[in-house]
Amino acid sequence: MTWTTDKPNQLGWFWYRKDPNSHVRLVKISDAGVVLYLRSLDESGHVDLTVRLEDCSGEWTGPIVPPV
């Protein structure tokens, strides 16, 4: 798994962390009109945050490919 500070440029599921010492979150980048949004799931599977992708800073890896 390679982490980068480059923001995702496609839709899908990604791993996100604020920095190398932060909790890793599974996030979904979705198209909401003209702005991409980040949706974060907590341990129970509930959405706990929705923010504009352009307002996010941190590290990303993905997109996550579903198992075959």
Q: Which range (13-17, 29-33, 35-39, 41-45) has the least confidence?
A: 35-39
In the chain, the percentage of residues whose pLDDT exceeds 70 is 81
Query: 58 versus 41: which is more confidently predicted?
Result: 58
**pTM for this prediction:** 0.78
Query: 51 versus 6: which is more confidently predicted?
Result: 6
Domain assignment present for residue 4? The answer is no
Domain extent, residue 37, equals 12-61
Query: 46 versus 15: which is more confidently predicted?
Result: 15
Q: What is the pLDDT of residue 34?
A: 46
- What tokens were used for 62? 């993905």
Domain assignment present for residue 1? The answer is no
Q: How many domains does the chain have?
A: 1
Going 21 to 15 to 59 to 3, the CA torsion angle's sign is positive
CA distances from 23 to 29, 38, 61 (A): 18, 16, 14
CA distances from 49 to 2, 58, 65, 67 (A): 24, 15, 23, 26
